[in-house]
Structure 1
Amino acid sequence: MKHATLLLAALLGLSQCRKKDPDPLSQLPPATQTGANTFGCLLNGQAWTPQGNSGTSNYSVAYCCTADGGVLDIAVYRINSATQDYQHIILFSRQLNKTGAYNFTNTNQTSASINDRKNGCYLDSQDVGVFHKGQLVITRFDLQAGIIAGTFDFVLAKPGCDTVRVTKGRFDKKL
């Protein structure tokens, strides 16, 4: 009887253990402003960070202060070489020369795009027929130290493609 009670207690204890899925937000790099060379966001609620390599850097940031009042180009991709799944995100802004919010609704100034080879959809906020909203917020713009950092969120949608919701985005790059 004593063994049966111990076995029952052990089984009862094990049945109460559930492995929790990790919080997607905890899988992103922290939002820093130190030139930490980080990028991450939630893509439709799932953690998304640069991964893999196709021969070029999977995370690049370029800034040119002499063109169009300052041009920022952030290009990031993730690739699974085993399955050849490839996704890239590009954030672009012109007339960017200080901290502040830059809205994706002004596509002449700021744009976002995402390409997903797996589902065959390319969404660009500058394309006609693509619903877009969101913003890029530059939280540190320090050309002397060579650091640019910020946050972003956006929604892109068009007929025939799944709606893309990017939230809690953050980047911090040493130029």
Structure 2
Amino acid sequence: MQEERPLPESQLPPATQTGANTFGCLVNGQVYLPSGNAGISNYTVIYEPDFLGGSLQIVTYRYPEPKGGKTQEVSLGGINIDHVGTYKVGLNSEVGVSFIDDYKMRPCNEYRNDQAAVYSRGTVFISRLDLSAGIISGTFEFTLAQPGCDTIRVTKGRFDKKP
């Protein structure tokens, strides 16, 4: 009898709006959670309400193999993020996303939606932007593709941070 494995989505943190300091998503169906320590936080959120109409940067990394020394990174951010709502991801949008995988060879190790050769589509939904409590939370999904490389599908993304 085969042991049942939990569904990948059930291994993600819940999508909360309390400043729980959580981040998670599925990358091509596999659980991605920030982990490890490279001398800087593996999950950083910076929100500057007075810079470029509201500037948001979320940067994460993980070490998939405990002693592998290589990282994977999921990042997102943008400008003119000043309210609860949906923000589109695309080549000429004000919201940017990226996926970096040190396990892949160039050019397939880096996908950034500001690169002309990279196809990008998706959304970032800000569900809470509470400056007085210092909490920003939301959900995200996006697809990145470039010629000759695997397509990266990031789904079920969620973040909740009190920076």
Which TM-score band applies after superposition, normalised by the shorter structure?
over 0.9
User: What does residue 28 of structure 1 align with?
Assistant: 12
Matched, 1:147 2:135: yes
State the distance in 2 between where 1:105 and 1:118 align: 25
State the distance in 2 between where 1:64 and 1:77 align: 22
Q: Aligned AA for 2:75?
A: I
State the distance in 2 between where 1:105 and 1:165 align: 14
State the distance in 1 between where 2:26 and 2:123 align: 15
Q: How many positions carry a matched residue from both structures?
A: 159
State the distance in 2 between where 1:106 and 1:174 align: 29
**Where do 5+ consecutive residues of structure 1 fail to align?**
1-16
CA contact (8 A) 2:76 2:97 kept: yes
State the distance in 1 between where 2:85 and 2:119 align: 23
CA contact (8 A) 2:17 2:136 kept: yes
What's the secondary structure of 2:71's corresponding residue?
Answer: strand
> Which of 112, 119, 123 matches 1:135?
123
CA deviation after TM superposition for structure 1 residue 106, in Å: 5.8
State the distance in 2 between where 1:129 and 1:55 align: 32
TM-score, scaled relative to structure 1 = 0.88
TM-score, scaled relative to structure 2 = 0.94
State the distance in 2 between where 1:150 and 1:107 align: 22
Matched, 1:161 2:144: no
Q: Deviations over 1:65-97 (max 9, x none)?
A: 111101000000002451122111110110001
State the distance in 2 between where 1:33 and 1:42 align: 19
What's the secondary structure of 2:9's corresponding residue?
Answer: helix
Matched, 1:74 2:62: no
User: What does residue 105 of structure 1 align with?
Assistant: 90
Relative to its length, the structure with more helix (as a share) is: 1
CA deviation after TM superposition for structure 1 residue 105, in Å: 2.0
User: What does residue 28 of structure 2 align with?
Assistant: 44
**Where do 5+ consecutive residues of structure 2 fail to align?**
none
What's the secondary structure of 1:85's corresponding residue?
Answer: coil
Matched, 1:65 2:49: yes
Q: Aligned AA for 2:97?
A: A
- % same residue: 47
